[in-house]
Amino acid sequence: MNERKLKIFFEVAKSLNMTEVARNLYISQPAVSMAISELEEELGVKLFERIGKKLYLTYEGKIFLGYVRRILNIYDECRTKIEHIANLKYGKLKIGASTTIGIYLLPEIIGSFSDVFKDIEISIAIENTKIIESMLLENKIDIAFVEGPIYSEEIVVKDFCDDELVVIVSSNHRLAKFNEIDKKELEDEKFILREVGSGTREVFEKAFYKSSIEYKVAFELGNTEAIKKAVMANLGISCVSKRCVKDEVNLGRISMLKVKDVDLSRKFYFIYHKDKYFSNLLNVFIDYAYNFVSI
């Protein structure tokens, strides 16, 4: 049973004239008769009976007609919905992001995108890079943007945009008066860092290890907002994305420092599963995101 057979049955049931249906559908009359016969064989009942020269629906045919009408209406509604989705009138995206991107960059991109495509539903999952990687592997999200390294060979990783980490201290801290410091100044400081699995934490550790900087971890906190509050309370210092502390620096609550001869630049990455199907909507959103960060 398929849509073609159901449509032929529906037209015959309406007109009770196979010759007319064949002409209207641009098919042969034997093709119409065959479609009806195949339906009757599948259902195990007669749908039509011929009395004299006239065609009539059987009782079973009348029951079947009611359901076929509903099926064809739903099918037409479904096709219209799919066409609207293909034309970006409707749709849904599930996007993942590691913490820094998810809080400080992605909302701006999605907000701008939603102003243009108002009926697209977008959900965001914000976790550390390790968890986002797992979510992609389990197909819980469509695509993601992360700042940390990705280890699965099933995930495609592409550059998205540049970022820079900075050391941050309270405005009352002894180092607050400097714009740049020597790495030795950090050896006696207590660091407040993100948890293991965070992309920021991993970039920080690799940069400090490469520069032979010894550091002490006082606290591990699960999000950057908590870290900023702890730094402002002078409980320690930290190393976060420059994007995260713009407001606090402008308000004079936090000072950010560069460390001489230490490269804390990094990339944000766009990632997706190698087997992911890219719909028109997904492609449009990705292009929009890349254009947004390039402005």
pTM listed for this prediction: 0.70
Q: What is the pLDDT of residues 211-246, one digit of tens each?
A: 999 899 999 998 899 999 999 999 999 999 999 999
Burial of 145 (0-12, 13-18, 19+ CB in 10 A): buried
Give the residues across from 181 on adjacent strands: 259
Parallel, antiparallel or unpaired: strands 180-181 and 254-259 = parallel
Per-residue pLDDT, 52: 86
What is the residue-wise DSSP string for 178-198?
-SEE-GGGGTTPEEEEEPTT-
Q: For the chain, 295 residues long, give each residue's pLDDT as a single digit of tens.
A: 688 999 999 999 999 999 999 999 999 999 999 999 999 999 999 999 999 889 999 999 999 999 999 999 898 888 878 887 777 777 899 999 998 899 999 999 999 999 999 889 999 999 989 999 999 999 999 999 998 889 999 999 999 999 999 999 999 999 999 999 999 999 889 999 998 888 889 989 999 999 999 899 999 998 899 999 999 999 999 999 999 999 999 999 999 999 999 999 999 999 999 999 998 899 999 999 999 998 7
Instruction: Work out the angle between the directed axes of helices 18-25 and 3-15 (0-180°, nearest 10).
Output: 130
- Distance, CA of 117 to CA of 110 (rounded, Å): 10
Beta carbons of 151 and 132 less than 8 angstroms apart: no
